[in-house]
Amino acid sequence: MASLVYSLFNLQSAVMILVAVAAFATVLTLTLPLFETDKLGTRMKFVATEREALRARYREQMAADKGRLRQTPKGFMKDVVERFARGRMLENEAIKDKLRQAGFRGQGPIYTFIFFRFVMPPILFLVTLFYLYVVNSFGLATLPRFAVAGAGAFFGFYMPNLFVQNVISRRQESIKKAFPDALDLLLICVESGMSVEAAFAKVAAEVGSQSVELAEELSVTTAELSYLQERRKAYENLASRTGLPGVKAVVTSLIQAERYGTPLGQSLRVMAQENRDMRMAEAEKKAASLPPKLTVPMIAFFLPVLFCVILGPAAIKIFGWN
């Protein structure tokens, strides 16, 4: 045993271990970029088809041929939703708006969302009953067990909403951080003489390294500005997809500048400063809320250790502990 410890800690073994660690780190550094995915390129490739998707919505209505002999196969989720969905759930604008704010576009996410709202309650109900009857009953009678299973089913109904809301929050946070810089770039592009469509396209390409979500929304807005008859509708769609007060204020300024012919550069400059002030105010708010949040961890973890360090030697002398 002693010879093994000596062989591990002598100079030659230490040098060999350091060389092996350095070689492994070098190989890892060189190979990691090969496994990284181009997230921005993937999202931009998806957004590039948005203009064709807008046109395809109208073409599908005109070119639909219900008399075809070979029908398009439907997925399992779509079959379940179309069989059990009642009313106008598939046409619910609130659900569509939430999914757009989360970055999920098209009919597929709508069917998936409604499918999980149907499926999760019975699944959690059965899983909770199985756990209470097979794994651990916690001393509950039959009626309380079914009550707990019902609570699990209720939670399962709202679980898809919680997931979508979490995605929306992370997406809005990313957009909020990069939006003031995007406004500055948009201001520079507009004052240099570029059109609004070209300015949005340029900003979307430049801001992608900072926020892929914002670059995606600006690219969709560029496609809508080129396709929709009313530019105001494209601006309003941008505000509804993001759901941020700062973006809504900028959209209102863009609509008013286009309607009344006011200088667009001045409006963008004011909006950029206001968004920076909003971001700074939010950072100050988080910093001000930090001391109350640290009070409980300090009482629970720091003070007992501090008392042990301060009073420990005195207790040893008083009680004569060896």
Question: pLDDT of 264-294, one tens digit each?
Answer: 777 788 877 887 787 788 888 888 888 888 8
Residue 107 and residue 152 in one domain: yes
pLDDT at 230 > cutoff 70: yes
| CB-CB contact of 207 with 180 (8 Å) | no
Residues 268 and 208 in one domain: yes
Residue 322 belongs to some domain of the structure: no
Buried b or exposed e, range 88-114, using 16+ CB within 10 angstroms: eeeeeeebbebbbbbbbbeeebbbbbb
Does residue 233 carry a pLDDT above 80?
Answer: yes
Query: Mean pLDDT for the chain?
Result: 76
Whole-number percent of the chain with pLDDT over 70: 75
**Residue 202: inside a domain:** yes
Residue 73's pLDDT band, with cuts at 50, 70 and 90, is very low
pLDDT for position 201: 86
Could you tell me which of 134, 136, 133 has the C-alpha nearest to residue 146? Answer: 133
35-55: pLDDT as tens digits: 665 555 665 565 555 555 655
Give the pLDDT of residue 69: 31
Q: Which two tokens mark 173?
A: 């946070």
d(CA 105, CA 90): 14
Cβ neighbourhood burial of 189 (10 Å; 0-12, 13-18, 19+): buried
Task: Say if residues 155 and 184 touch (Cβ distance below 8 Å).
Answer: no
Domain that holds residue 249: 171-283
Residue 74 lies in a domain: no
DSSP-H helix ranges across 38-75: 39-47, 50-63
Neighbouring CB atoms inside 10 A of 278's CB total 17
Higher pLDDT, 179 or 68: 179
Asked if the structure places residue 315 within a domain, the reply is: no
Average pLDDT on 67-76 reads: 43
Higher confidence at residue 74 or residue 176?
176
In this predicted structure, the answer to whether residue 68 has a pLDDT above a threshold of 60 is no
Q: What is the maximum alpha-carbon separation in the chain? A: 98
147 with 132, same domain? yes
How many domains in the chain?
Answer: 2
Q: Do residues 279 and 219 share a domain?
A: yes
pLDDT at position 297: 83
Domain identity same for 272 and 185: yes
Query: N- to C-terminal Cα distance for the chain?
Result: 33
Measured CA distances, 53 to 6, 111, 152, 206 (Å): 70, 18, 39, 24
Report yes or no on 155 lying in a domain: yes
Last residue of a domain, one of 136, 170, 204: 170
Same domain, 85 and 186: no
How far is the C-alpha of 297 from the C-alpha of 292, rounded, in Å? 10
Residue 36 pLDDT: 61
Q: Is residue 126 part of a domain?
A: yes
Euclidean distance between CA atoms 58 and 60, whole angstroms: 5
Q: What is the pLDDT of residue 244?
A: 85
